[in-house]
Amino acid sequence: MNIEVITNPSQSQLDEMGVSGWPIWEKEVSSFPWTYDMKEVCYILEGEVTVTPNGGEPIHIKAGDLVTFPNGMSCHWDISEDIRKHYQFS
């Protein structure tokens, strides 16, 4: 299971996806395990995090990244700068 990261997607791509209408999630600097029971696409508005899939390599994610987390993935989040993101589950 791979995390897909698109760095600095175009505004037109974000508009086509309707990102600005998605809910916003915020979390302070912290570290915690997480399992995705649905696919999540998110756009990082602020902050930085390293997400390490169980048995995989760490992925550094930062403001300006459009990220897709696959359904069923278990991982560990290590937030180094408070995170603020738009998100959508499917």
Q: Which is more confidently placed, 1 or 20? A: 20
| Percent of the chain at pLDDT exceeding 70 | 100
- The C-alpha angle 87, 53, 57, rounded to 5 degrees, equals 120
Q: Residue 1 has what pLDDT?
A: 78
Confidence label for 85 from pLDDT (cuts 50, 70 and 90): very high
Q: Under CATH, which number does the domain 4-89 receive? A: 2.60.120.10
This model's pTM is above 0.85 = yes
What distance in Å separates the CA atoms of residue 89 and residue 69, rounded to the nearest whole number? Answer: 10
Domain ranges of the chain: 4-89
SS3 of 20, please?
helix
pLDDT in tens, 43-69: 999 999 999 999 999 999 999 999 999
